[in-house]
């Protein structure tokens, strides 16, 4: 990231983000990158000021963990609309979120087919983390999808993950579960599901990799990741 900043005039950039722990963790990484780019030549005086604004999207307003009938891609859940609106109405200067949060039908918001995009991607934050998924269970004897018991309940609201699960193990009971990472892990702990599939990048960014009892890296050929996985 590069920013043209006058050393005599502090500049404040308002950053919009969802309120979840993972979203805030990722936004703090972006904020740190901005601060590094906005330091004076001596490398110590910060001349770029930032502030973070928490914005609840419609996808965040239905409770911390929800069992639903459809995968997220089919249910119309919106995790970025309110962020876009905040940028458009001037409440914030930029918004930070996972690239995969943008619904395919909304990349990007347009008034009609002839209009240019109202918002655009200003930057990507690197380096990119591993795009692979992990299988999480409470049973240490389960070391892969193949060793899950017949009819096991596997939590995921991703239509991509569900398709691969059903193709490989048609006997599994795939549960549409959404919510932040902590809420989904709690559902596993409470016995609502037997296993959970999460993005490894999110687990690592939250710093909870050592707190999760059983994390398995299934072969990459099983979990074909979305092309934009982990990109901010």
The half-sphere exposure of 175 on its side-chain side, counting CA atoms within 13 A, is 21
Tokens for 19? 């309120």
Q: Please, are residues 224 and 133 in contact by the beta-carbon 8 Å criterion?
A: no
Distance of CA 157 to CAs 13, 93, 128, 196, 232, Å? 34, 31, 23, 10, 20
The DSSP code for 149 is: P
Phi, then psi, of 30 in degrees rounded to 5: -65, -45
Q: Select from 51, 53, 50, 49 the least CA-distant residue to 19.
A: 53
Tokens for 166? 């059903």
Q: Is 101 a catalytic residue?
A: yes
Catalytic position from the list 78, 84, 101, 133 = 101
User: Which positions are catalytic?
Assistant: 101
């Amino acid at each position: 990231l590069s920013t043209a900043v006058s050393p005599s005039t502090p500049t404040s950039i308002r950053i919009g983000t969802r309120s979840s722990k993972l979203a805030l963790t990722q936004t703090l990484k972006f904020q740190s990158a901005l601060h590094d780019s906005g330091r004076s030549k001596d490398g110590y005086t910060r001349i770029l000021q930032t502030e973070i604004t928490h914005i609840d999207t419609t996808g965040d307003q239905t409770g911390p963990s929800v069992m639903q009938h459809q995968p997220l891609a089919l249910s119309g859940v919106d995790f970025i609309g309110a962020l876009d609106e905040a940028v458009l109405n001037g409440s914030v200067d930029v918004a930070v979120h996972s690239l995969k949060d943008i619904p395919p039908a909304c990349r990007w918001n347009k008034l009609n087919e002839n209009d240019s995009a109202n918002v655009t991607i200003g930057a990507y934050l690197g380096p990119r983390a591993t795009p692979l998924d992990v299988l999480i269970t409470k049973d240490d004897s389960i070391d892969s999808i193949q060793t899950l018991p017949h009819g096991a309940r596997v939590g995921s609201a991703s239509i991509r993950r569900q398709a691969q699960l059903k193709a490989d193990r048609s006997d599994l009971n795939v549960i549409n579960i959404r919510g932040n990472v902590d809420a989904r892990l709690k559902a596993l702990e409470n016995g609502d599901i037997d296993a959970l599939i999460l993005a490894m990048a999110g687990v690592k960014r939250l710093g909870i990799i050592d707190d999760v009892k059983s994390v398995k890296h299934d072969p990459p050929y099983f979990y074909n990741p979305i092309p934009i996985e982990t990109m901010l």
